[in-house]
Structure 1
Amino acid sequence: MSNVLSAMKERRSIRKYKQDKIPQEILDQIIEAGLYAANGMGYQNTIIIQVTNKKVRDEIAALNAEIGGWKKGFDPFYGAPAMLIVLAKKDWPNRVYDGSLVMGNLMLAAHALGIGSCWIHRAKEEFETEWGKNFLRSLGIEGAYEGIGHCAIGYIEGNYPKAAPRKGNRVFYVKED
């Protein structure tokens, strides 16, 4: 089986991370994989924001937890020291699909490089707030963007999760006679 197919079968969401920093060279490889995700009409209407600054990361985690309705102090990023936030142009009809493909590539690339990952939701709600809009402006990002997801990434703390058995009756065939 190819390395890509193996990575697809083996990758799992990680919910406990070491605090070790990921080298920028590895982050760059993961980001590059995201930039090569399939996208509608080749328009490349998604962007990725790398956050490794602990203060900003913790601020985003607090906002995400507030939106999610969790108690103060809960970390919805499970201690991951880095996150890659995927956004797409708000007026692009394929924004959620294109952004989801970017997220998938990020998680597969992270796994292939020995890095754990987990898709964390509520990016849409975060970037609808004034905080989110101001954050984008502070980075020089112009225009309206919709948050698609956060890819929490870091070195795995503990054992790697096992895949659950695949459920049956999920594939149907329409074949030539």
Structure 2
Amino acid sequence: MNEVLKVIKERRSIRKFKSDMIPKEIIDKVIESGLYAASGKGQQSPIIISVTNKELRDKLSRMNCKIGGWKEDFDPFYNAPVVLVILAPKDWPTFVYDGSLVIGNMMLAAHTLNIGSCWIHRAKQEFESEEGKEILKSLGIEGEYEGIGHCILGYVDGDYPNVIARKPNRVYYAD
């Protein structure tokens, strides 16, 4: 089977990570794959914030937890030590799609590098908040960006999830 198709079929979302930090070189390879995602008119408009600073990572986790309505001690990043935040400019017509493709590419790349990943939602609400806007400002990010999602990364803690069968009747042909 073609290696790309194999990776697409095997990759699963991980929800239990070891706290061990991933080497920067591996994080950079995952990020690079996101930078090569397709984008509307080739504009390459999404941006990626690589969060490996534990204090900021934990702050984002608390914000995300509050938005999700969970108990204070729940970690919606499942102990993953790396959070890649994807944002895109609100004034670009395909910003949500472009940012989504970035996350998809990064999750596939992580799998090929034996790194677990998962898309975590609620970045939109995080970065609409005053606290989120302050984070962007502190990083020197200016402009009107919307949070698309988080791609969390880490070493899998436990068994890798099995591939489940695909649901039937999801494809229609109009030959």
**TM-score under structure 1 normalisation?**
0.98
List runs of 5+ in structure 1 lacking aligned partners. none
SS of match in other structure, 2:128: coil
Equivalent in the alignment of 2:97:
97
Once residues 131 and 35 of structure 1 are traced to their aligned partners in structure 2, the CA distance between those partners, rounded to angstroms, is 26
Q: Does 1:155 align with 2:155?
A: yes
Instruction: Write out aligned runs for 1:74-153 (5 A).
Output: 74-153=74-153
Q: CA RMSD in A?
A: 0.6
Q: Give 2:20's aligned amino acid.
A: D
Once residues 21 and 107 of structure 1 are traced to their aligned partners in structure 2, the CA distance between those partners, rounded to angstroms, is 17
SS of match in other structure, 1:62: helix
Equivalent in the alignment of 1:8:
8
Q: Does 1:48 align with 2:48?
A: yes
Identity in percent: 65
List runs of 5+ in structure 2 lacking aligned partners. none
**TM-score under structure 2 normalisation?**
0.99
Please list the CA deviations of residues 83-124 of structure 1 after superposition, one character each: whole Å capped at 9, or x if unmatched: 100000011110110000000001000000000000000000
Tell me the matched-pair count: 175
Equivalent in the alignment of 1:164:
164
SS of match in other structure, 1:127: helix
SS of match in other structure, 1:20: coil
Please list the CA deviations of residues 112-148 of structure 1 after superposition, one character each: whole Å capped at 9, or x if unmatched: 0000000000000000001111111111111010000
SS of match in other structure, 2:153: strand
